């Protein structure tokens, strides 16, 4: 029994190490667990917009902290070991919008899951990855065929396009 437990622990470590390595290779910060006090969180009236990138978005909350404005994205469901890449990119786009709107670069943003909060540093590398991704999405807008970019059946299950999508996984 002890050997099985140790083996499972070893496997979990390998998976965690590997996902961390892939994330670092993509230039994405992993996020660190933090404690947050939700009393300071303020709701936004309107979405933020940045015309040069035609980018718009509405963080769930903004927090004012030591002269900084920190965007917060709230996600339902159990917290993963590390924030999903799609959540990191969404938060990064809010950081960019906050910087362009208020003239202050947030040092990090917060992803709030039901059981845990992560602070994700808004680094120059993350901003560059975001800009590359936005450019890629713009290019793909004009393509007729864009292949599915994931293997997550649960994502397809919640997708609004599943009735018309011929690449759905379920
Ligand atoms: S149903 Fe299609 S568009 Fe929606 S998540 Fe799945 S593959 Fe993507």
pLDDT of residue 129: 96
Contact, 108 vs 120, CB < 8 A?
yes
Residue 169 alpha carbon to ligand 1 centre in Å: 8
Domain assignment of residue 41, yes or no: yes
Atom of ligand 1 nearest to the CA of 156: 6
Domain assignment of residue 168, yes or no: no
Q: Where are the beta strands (DSSP E) in 6-144?
A: 32-34, 41-42, 48-50, 55-57, 61-65, 68-74, 108-112, 117-121
Residue 162 alpha carbon to ligand 1 centre in Å: 6
Tokens of 123: 């680094």
Evaluate if residue 71 carries a pLDDT over 60.
yes
Domain assignment of residue 19, yes or no: yes
Residue 133 alpha carbon to ligand 1 centre in Å: 18
Which residues partner with 64 through β-bridges?
A: 69
Domain assignment of residue 148, yes or no: yes
Residue 145 alpha carbon to ligand 1 centre in Å: 13
pTM: 0.72
Mean residue pLDDT across the chain:
82
Number of domains making up the chain: 1
Domain assignment of residue 164, yes or no: no
| Residues 136-154 pLDDT 10s | 989 888 888 888 888 989 8
Mutate-to-test residue for ligand 1 from 145, 149, 155, highest number of ligand atoms within 8 A of CB: 155
Q: Which domain holds residue 19?
A: 14-157
């Amino acid at each position: 029994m002890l050997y099985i437990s140790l083996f499972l622990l070893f496997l979990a470590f390998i998976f965690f190490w590997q996902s961390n390595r892939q994330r670092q290779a993509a230039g994405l910060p992993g996020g660190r667990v933090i404690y947050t006090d939700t009393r300071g969180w303020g709701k936004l009236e309107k979405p933020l917009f940045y015309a040069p990138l035609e980018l718009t978005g509405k963080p769930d909350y903004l927090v004012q902290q030591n002269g900084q404005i920190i965007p917060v994205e709230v996600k339902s469901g159990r917290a993963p070991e590390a924030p999903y890449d799609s959540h990191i990119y969404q938060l990064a786009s809010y950081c960019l919008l906050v910087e362009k709107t208020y003239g202050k670069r947030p040092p990090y943003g917060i992803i709030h899951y039901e059981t845990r909060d992560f602070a994700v540093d808004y680094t120059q590398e993350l901003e560059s990855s975001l800009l590359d991704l936005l450019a890629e999405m713009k290019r793909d807008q004009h393509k007729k065929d864009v292949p599915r970019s994931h293997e997550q059946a649960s994502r397809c299950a919640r997708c609004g396009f599943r009735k018309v999508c011929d690449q759905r996984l379920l």
